Amino acid sequence: MKLTGKVVIVTGGANGIGKALCERFHREGAKKVIVADLDKSKAEITAAAIEGDAFSLDVRNEEQIAAMVKEVEKRYGTVDLFCSNAGILAEAPEDEGFAGMATSTSNDVWQAMWEIHVMAHVFAARACLPGMIQRGGGYFLNVASSAGLLQLFGAPAYTTSKHASVGFAEALAITHGDDGIKVSALCPEVVATALTNDGQGVEELGMGEVISPENVAEAVIRGLDKEDFLILPHKHVESKFQRKASDYTRWIGQMRIIRSTIIERVRSIAT
């Protein structure tokens, strides 16, 4: 997909990866970039810089998503690319961290993760698919995470919801590919954003490379151009995913060892 002349919606577009995507889509020649965010004032700032439109949006609210899509189609005729980027990352209880139980996360956080990382993608597809199918084409860029293919230690709710996000992207691609619908699942590892506290301490703990939101946006442009299903800004994620698939049991064992090593590193740094 080429972005020239396209109408694009980006949720969570006021900060981090979303903001970088909005800016890059504009530079690629998009007809209009819609910056949708819970923080309307920041959305307006981002939109003003790229001659876009700003919408105040809670992605957990299906009616708001449907209304936004209807309004964008009314203004510009189409939604060519819908990027479901909004996300949250809640840490494990402070006294447990990486060493916590897989069930430590509260029910409220589990529910929020499900609604933002999965149902918001469903709501976007439900709002956009009729028009896209009628026009014979459209694109969904669903921002998941490498955690949706692998694991993020200490964040079982995040990891589980991101796996579900990838699963829904697969369902979209399989079910509607013959309708002309394209789908990509963006699965970065650690990105320097407010969500990750700019990736502080990640490399020190041996948890991977930290890249910038602009690096992610560059990978997205390449992935959309090739219409890849998986867009992996961190190249080593692909080999990790392949190792997992080749021997799942062995991979689980390796992850247990890595988790234990990280816990020891955290404890040594703390003391």
224-266 residue pLDDT tens: 999 999 999 998 999 999 999 999 999 999 999 998 988 887 7
> CATH code at 205?
3.40.50.720
Q: Which domain holds residue 66?
A: 7-236
pLDDT at 98: 63
Residue 249 belongs to some domain of the structure: no
20-74 residue pLDDT tens: 999 999 999 999 999 999 999 999 999 999 999 999 999 999 999 999 999 999 9
Average pLDDT, the chain: 92
In this structure, are residues 114 and 40 in contact, taking their beta carbons and an 8 Å threshold?
no
Q: Quote the number of domains for the chain.
A: 1
Q: Residue 214 has which token pair?
A: 């602009």
pLDDT band at 267 (very low <50, low <70, confident <90, very high): confident
Residue 153 belongs to some domain of the structure: yes
Residue 269 belongs to some domain of the structure: no
pLDDT at 173 over 80: yes
Q: Which residues contact 209 (CB under 8 A, 6 or more apart)?
A: 189, 190, 203, 234, 236
Residue 266 belongs to some domain of the structure: no
Residue 156 belongs to some domain of the structure: yes
Residue 111 belongs to some domain of the structure: yes
100-150 residue pLDDT tens: 788 888 999 999 999 999 999 999 999 999 999 999 999 999 999 999 999
Rounded to an integer, what distance in angstroms lies between the CA atom of residue 240 and that of residue 80? 32
Residue 135 belongs to some domain of the structure: yes
pLDDT band at 95 (very low <50, low <70, confident <90, very high): very low
Give CB contacts under 8 A, 24+ apart, made by 105-114: 105/155, 105/156, 105/157, 109/157, 110/157, 112/60, 112/88, 113/88, 113/157, 113/158, 113/160, 113/161, 114/161, 114/164
Residue 37 belongs to some domain of the structure: yes
- The predicted model scores a pTM of 0.92
